[in-house]
Amino acid sequence: MTALEIADLIERLKGHFVLTAVGLSMAVSPDVDRLLAEVGVSLDDPIAVRRHGGPDYVLPIRPTIEESQTDNDRKLDVIDAWLDLAIFRVADELEQHNYFDKAPILAFLRHVRNGLAHGNRFDLRPGNWMQVEAKYGKLQITEKLNGERVLGSGGFLKRGDALALLDDIAAHLRTEPSTKTWKELGIQHTRSSAPRLLGTEG
């Protein structure tokens, strides 16, 4: 994907979030039976997902809906799962271009993505990326955050921060930044001593 295509991807992912949030609101509504019935769906109907060479994979609807109506943590888990996946998807595309110009906002996202991959905890070790400023607005990632929670309840980023971050990354990408090497940034290329995660480096 080009920088502009990644920016467009962010817009589509935000649309997916809206659909998720609206669907979740319906699911936890006391009127969920009636609302679904109006579009021809029953809570007692299963969700069937096609497979190769076998019967459909079936997921019951009612148990999940009923549990979600009383479990607030589960509702937040749905939102957090979408945010995690969106950040991973965008970061993986940026990785294909070595994060273009490695601007502070892109370095910030790279650390966020890495932290999410380490159990939603910052994992900040010596290496190239610790020599690049990682800043978004008034928020800055430094080694002092190592081990701290990244996203969600009690995290460094609130959920709205993550959405706004994706917005501003899209705006940066629409400037079509060039790709800069570590040498061009005045950084001698090194790798951290930590085991390399798929899709990460430095």
If asked whether residues 79 and 112 sit together in one domain, one would say yes
Do 144 and 88 belong together in one domain? yes
Q: Are residues 59 and 145 in the same domain?
A: no
Q: Are 109 and 139 in contact (CB under 8 A)?
A: no
Tens digit of each residue's pLDDT (9 = 90 or more) over 46-101: 899 999 988 999 999 888 888 888 887 887 888 888 999 999 999 999 999 999 99
Q: Give yes or no: residues 106 and 140 share one domain.
A: yes
Query: 70, 85, 100 — which closes off a domain?
Result: 70
Q: Specify the amino acid at residue 3.
A: A
Whether residues 90 and 125 share a domain: the answer is yes
The predicted model scores a pTM of 0.82
The whole domain housing 41 covers 31-70
SS3 track for 3-34: HHHHHHHHHHHHHHHHHHHHHHHHHCCCCHHH
- 45 and 87 in a single domain? The answer is no
pLDDT in tens, 36-58: 888 888 888 889 999 998 899 99
| Nearest by Cα to 202 from 87, 99, 85, 89 | 99
Residues in the chain: 202
How many structural domains does the chain have?
Answer: 2
Q: Is the pLDDT of residue 176 over 50?
A: yes
Q: Are both 58 and 98 inside the same structural domain?
A: no
Phi-psi region of 141 (alpha: psi -120 to 50; beta: other; left: phi over 0): beta
Residue whose entry in the numeric block shows the structure tokens 């509702």? 75
* Average pLDDT of the chain, as a whole number: 88
